[in-house]
Amino acid sequence: MNREVAHSPSVFHKTSMTRCSHDFHVNCNNCRLSSICLPLALDINEIDQLDRIIQRSRPLQKGDHLYRQDEEFRSVYAVRSGSVKGYSITDNGQEQVTGFYFPGEVLGMDGIAKNHHASSARALETSSVCEIPFDQFGELSQRLPNLQRHFFQLMSQEIAADQQMLMQLSKNTADQRVATLLLSISARHRRRKLSAANFRLPMSRTDIGNYLGLTVETVSRVFSRFQKLGVLGVDNKEIAIVDPEGLQTMANGTDIN
């Protein structure tokens, strides 16, 4: 089944979805990420069924929105390349970054409850995503117990991760928060078989600060301090984790326990 008839894409969110010339041969079976993404728990035949409902559009440019807060909820999304920032705007107009999403990770699940997105998502760099229409996905997981179970797990994981994050924000110092974030990003790179020690941060210091509940200045100071301590190499957005154990120590209680 050729896929480009499958998604008459024009109907949805304006420009973000158009034609996709180079993508015609991408599918879950040949995707490098299938082992850490939604297909994880499925057999070949099941993956095929999943693949059939997935829509792949041309890449998003930096700053493009995947979805916007309060928009009607239609799909969840899996990041295929690049990176995405999730954020929401409070009543009093402040932005709160709720997460960063890397390849193989799924976002948009917070919109299921109210059938409207509870947050916005936008590309931090040129990125491509798989769109998974939720109606069809719900039907499919009705038929594929493995898929249902895996999606339950995915959502559960997000809950657990958010609660970890709560811990971060309520109990930890600036040093600990930054260290933990870096370790988290590092681990996610490792999961994708990329270097866990050297990587580029796709987001700005401002976003990091916002996410961690700190100001830009504080984030900047922490980076500087870590570099001075020989734990990190920092060249603008290029990060080198020089002393992983040291960083882990910072992430925990550090100091003189």
Partner DNA sequence: CGCCCGGCTTGACGTGTGTCAAGCCACAGG
Partner DNA sequence: CCTGTGGCTTGACACACGTCAAGCCGGGCG
Q: Which residues bind DNA (CB under 7 A)?
A: 173-175, 204-206, 213-221, 223-224, 234, 236-237
Q: Which residue number, 112 or 240, has a Cβ lying nearer to a copy of itself?
A: 112
Minimum gap (Å) between residue 210 Cβ and a copy of itself: 8
CB neighbourhood size of 164 (10 A): 11
Burial code (b: 16+ CB inside 10 Å, e: under 16) for 46-82 equals: bbeebbebbbbbbbbeeebbbbebeeebbbbbbbbeb
Neighbours of 235 (CB within 10 A): 9
Our CB check for a copy of itself shows the closer of 17 and 140 to be 140
| Binder of residue 171, out of DNA, a copy of itself, none (CB less than 5 to 8 A by kind) | a copy of itself
199 binds, among DNA, a copy of itself, none (CB under 5 to 8 A by kind): none
Q: Smallest gap, in angstroms, from Cβ of residue 49 to a copy of itself?
A: 15
- Chosen from DNA, a copy of itself, none, partner binding at 221 (C-beta under 5 to 8 Å by type): DNA
Helix, strand, coil: what percent of the chain each, to 5?
Answer: 45, 20, 35
Tell me the sheet residues that pair with 210. Answer: none
User: Does 22 interact with a copy of itself (rule: CB under 8 A)?
Assistant: no
Closest CA to 254 of 170, 168, 173: 173
Q: What is the separation of C-alpha 193 from the centre of its chain, rounded to a whole number of angstroms?
A: 17
Q: Does residue 151 bind a copy of itself (CB under 8 A)? A: yes
Whole-angstrom distance, CA of residue 122 vs CA of residue 67: 7
| Choices 61-69, 94-102, 189-197, 237-245 (CB under 8 A): range interacting with a copy of itself | 94-102
Burial class (CB in 10 A: 0-12, 13-18, 19+), 192: middle
- Residues of this chain, 210-249, that bind a copy of itself according to CB under 8 A: 210-213
By CB under 8 A, tell whether 94 contacts a copy of itself. Answer: yes
Shortest spacing between CB 17 and DNA, in angstroms: 17
Cα separation, 156 vs 159, in Å, equals 5
| 69 scored as a contact of a copy of itself (CB under 8 A) | no
Contact 232, 178 (CB under 8 A): no
**Order of strands, sheet of 198-200, starting from the edge strand that comes earlier in the sequence:** 198-200, 238-241, 232-235
Q: Which is nearer to a copy of itself, 55 or 119 (CB)?
A: 119
Q: What residues make contact with a copy of itself under the rule CB under 8 A?
A: 88, 90-92, 94, 96, 98, 109-114, 118-119, 138-139, 141-142, 145, 148-149, 151-160, 162-163, 165-167, 169-171, 210-213, 252-253, 257
